[in-house]
Amino acid sequence: MSVTLRLAWRNLWRHGRRTWLTVGAMVFCNSLLVFLISSQLGSYAMMIDGTLGFLTGHLQVQEQRYNEESKMRYTVPDGIAVAKALRDSTGNPAIAARGSAFALASSEDRSFGIQILGVQPQFESAVSTLPGLIDQGRYLQSSDAAEIVIGTVLARNLKIGVGDEITFLGSGRDDSFAAGIATVVGIINSGITDVDRAIAEIPLNYFQSIFAMEDDVHSIVVKVDDLDKVAPLKKQIQSQLGDSSLTVLDWNQLQPGLGQAIQADMFSSFLTYAVLIVLVAFSVLNTQLMSVLERTREFGVMTALGVRPGQLGRLVLLETAIMSSLGLLLGCVAGGLLTAYLAHTGISLDAMKEALERYNIEGRLYPQLSIISLFGGPLIVFVGGMLAAIYPALRLHTLQPVAAMRAV
């Protein structure tokens, strides 16, 4: 242990209570930051998974204009074959083709305008969570049967159940009249009212024959198991498609609101964190300035004995570094333990259920503990503390040994 280090260590514990209070401020702030940032990242993951998982997927292949104006005639030709080719070439099994149309759905008693999706039953469950959320009956099986699954709210509004028939009227790709009668085989309960009110799925081949789509589809949906794979996969698919009229869109283009909602939330939270960090830095500044001022005589003696102001400055910075490291360590341990515990049990969100449904977050929030969420906040607090010590350390350069030794 060098002399400076030993001096710094002993100086800190000359005022144990003061040191602990300053360390306490850092520990409090650090644990809070670890918990908040972890919960934030956890909630973003839930927002992304929740919003994209139902239907959108991470990537979609569409006709270039379809995302801007979803018109029936902007189609992906021979979509089922394209989807199969993509499954083979990318090795990703979670790729499915879909068609989409608006139609007036009528039961015996009621009619509603809804969006009808044509899906590939054998692949749809790999790209969408909805097939797994069947509440009554079963999901679609055959790819060309006149069957339909609908959301619970839609079923209630139409006053129908499993086994009943739905008539739907709309227009086909060529603006021709399109009509069909399908039997309800299953009812989906996603827990999100807006989804349950709007969802209706029929087999893709049946969809194509009703809406005069021939072999075309509207989108090919791709789901990945890791967000980091989105960008490379997008590039790969794009190059495979070549110069056709088709394009690959990632989730940020498909759901621009999602990324922006996350940005808006990040911005406002970081504002809050910044204030907390500034307050902790003030606490450090106060402590270190006091500890420098009350040692004026001592420092005067030391300079008189030949210690250079720069060395004294380093001593003060070292003291701060030790204190900040303690705060960092204890804060990460306390915050990490608390967060790990909550990541295990989850935080109940029932109190905010309705607000969070908007973001497709449901059930319990599991904070995500990662290197970034564990050390990101505390490291900035550490840097803030060190910055705050610069002024007290610099003051030492103005120290006049003779006057300092006489100071009370």
Q: Which residues bind other proteins (CB under 8 A)?
A: 15, 17-18, 21-22, 24-25, 28-29, 32, 69, 71-72, 102-104, 108-115, 156-157, 159, 170-171, 175, 256-264, 268, 271-272, 275-276, 278-280, 282-283, 285-287, 289-290, 293-294, 351-355, 357-359
Minimum distance from CB of 24 to other proteins (Å)? 5
Closest separation in Å from C-beta 405 to other proteins? 17
Q: How many CB atoms lie within 10 A of CB 213?
A: 24
Alpha helices per DSSP H over 199-295: 204-210, 230-241, 251-254, 256-293
Smallest Cα–Cα separation from 136: which of 161, 117, 119? 161
- Report the alpha-carbon distance of residue 42 to residue 367 in Å, rounded: 5
Closest approach of Cβ 110 to other proteins, in Å?
6
Cα distance between residue 16 and residue 284, in whole Å = 14
Please state the closest distance from residue 251 (CB atom) to other proteins, in A: 13
- Shortest approach of other proteins to residue 355 CB, angstroms? 4
Rg of the Cα trace of the chain? Answer: 31
Q: Which residues does 205 contact at the CB level (< 8 Å), separation at least 6? A: 118, 143, 144
User: Dihedral, CA atoms, 375, 380, 381, 383, nearest 10 degrees?
Assistant: 120
Q: Which is nearer to other proteins, 104 or 403 (CB)?
A: 104
Tell me whether residue 88 or residue 108 sits nearer to other proteins (CB atom): 108
CB of 366 to other proteins, least distance (A): 20
* Phi, psi torsion values for 220, nearest 5 degrees: -120, 120
Length of the chain: 408
Q: How far apart (Å, rounded) are the C-alpha atoms in residues 184 and 151?
A: 11
Q: Which residue has the tokens 């803030």?
A: 384
Nearest approach in angstroms of CB 378 to other proteins is 14
Burial class (CB in 10 A: 0-12, 13-18, 19+), 352: exposed
Cα atoms in the Cβ-side hemisphere of radius 13 Å centred on 270: 10
CA distances from 314 to 73, 209, 311, 322 (A): 72, 80, 5, 12
225 or 354: CB nearest other proteins: 354
Measured from the CB of residue 351, what is the shortest distance to other proteins in angstroms? 8
Instruction: Kindly tell me which of 24 and 376 has the beta carbon lying closer to other proteins.
Output: 24
Note the helical H segments in 294-352: 296-304, 309-345
DSSP state of 136: E
Comparison of 28 and 183: residue with beta carbon closer to other proteins: 28
Question: Cα 87 to chain center, whole Å?
Answer: 27
Nearer to other proteins, 42 or 131 (CB): 42
Q: Which is nearer to other proteins, 28 or 78 (CB)?
A: 28
Q: Whose Cβ is closer to other proteins: residue 2's or residue 398's?
A: 398
In angstroms, give the least distance from the CB of 53 to other proteins. 16
| DSSP-H helix ranges across 52-191 | 79-90, 121-127, 152-158
Q: Smaller CB distance to other proteins: residue 259 or 401? A: 259
Q: Which is nearer to other proteins, 88 or 175 (CB)?
A: 175
Q: How far is the CB of 108 from other proteins (least distance, A)?
A: 7
